[in-house]
Structure 1
């Protein structure tokens, strides 16, 4: 199936969300139009991977996976997306979540997600996004794209994905040493990134940087 080409028959969807009520609601919305059919559900990353493998082995794999970011205990939706990409190349994943921070969007796209949508989208927007993602079209609402691809203070220089990643670690209260270890870079490199971040955001310290980053929705607040 090439980009822009719709699958024959209803689009087969696998839902991955740790809340049964949310999955039930998503199923009802997606199947309401008749063009989409939910063939499997999973509450966590490991279950999603096992289910996807089983369906593929039976020749009944999904055309698209609708993935939440937070899946309770165990691997996150980001990790599940990354592992699905490794085990089932070409299977598109649409992240549907309540989190719209730049760090989350960039992490999902870096993990291989084919699209990103917030749960406050309308039923029509959700169905359309799932169908387009299944057809190979990259799906990212304009507002999220502007923040994720041009992150930074209004009118100021954009922050790079690495700088946003540094900010996410700052927001979690991590030290330079911990950030360096997590990103496999030197502490000197972390300090350089922080210098650039402070300059771009117009702040003088870590606390101010996190405060501004949250106000701009670069990281979760």
Structure 2
């Protein structure tokens, strides 16, 4: 039996998703909530779902993946399946990086939602064709074309971290300013080093300045 926690702002959406899921004999809805702030700290720990079905499209605000989803310091056995009408490729990449195992558009059918829940519960990655098309259609994959193929593009968040490295801020200070964990800061710095082909902060800042990624 697949235990599912339904998260959505609208009670009608929660009821609708729960009704859809309960049509499958292999799925049991263990709870539903609108409170995103306590999903990680309370709902998941108490209900221990296998899958968290989160309808982001029912929330008015635009969510920061780093604040919304569990970071790599925390261990949750559940898989996250998102329903969203925000098919921005950068956000999708960040979501996958932070542990999401499935992404569906708001227009997904009942059968697609059920199939996605079953798939992510088995440990598979689920991307709806609309989502995959959004990812593959991105042509500007390198921030500065002068970098060539030898240096990969930095995300906006990585640029922020690089700018703070240039200012001489320590990991703890960066974490406090961005309101993320120190572990996540270390993750971003490691990614920056890899993408720029460097091994120290000084080298990263130097390359960033040289190619116009940041300014001193």
Match of 1:189 in 2: 208
Number of the residue aligned with 1:27: 18
Could you tell me which of 49, 56, 69 is aligned with 1:81?
69
Q: Following the alignment from structure 1 to structure 2, what is the Cα–Cα distance between the partners of residues 187 and 42? A: 47
Alignment of 1:105 with 2:92, yes or no, is yes
Contact 1:115-1:140 at 8 Å conserved across structures: yes
Q: Root-mean-square deviation (CA), in Å? A: 3.6
Match of 2:155 in 1: 165
1:193–1:109: structure 2 CA closer, same or farther, 3 Å change rule?
farther
* Structure 1 contact 65–94 (Cα < 8 Å) conserved: yes
Which of 1 and 2 has higher RCO (CA within 8 Å, sep 6+)?
Answer: 1
Q: Within 5 A, what are the aligned runs for 1:101-180?
A: 101-148=88-135, 150=136, 152-153=138-139, 158-159=141-142, 163=153, 165-166=155-156, 180=163
TM-score, length of structure 2 as denominator length: 0.62
Please tell me whether residue 48 in structure 1 is matched to residue 16 in structure 2.
no
Distance 1:18 1:39 in 2: 17
TM score, norm. by length of structure 1? 0.60
Residue 57 of structure 2 corresponds to residue 65 of structure 1: no
Distance 1:77 1:188, change over 3 A: closer
Give SS of 2:82's match: strand
Structure 1, unmatched stretches of 5+, are 1-8, 56-60, 170-175, 196-221
Distance 1:191 1:117, change over 3 A: farther
Question: Which residues of 2 match residues 5-24 of structure 1 at below 5 A?
Answer: 9=1, 11-24=2-15
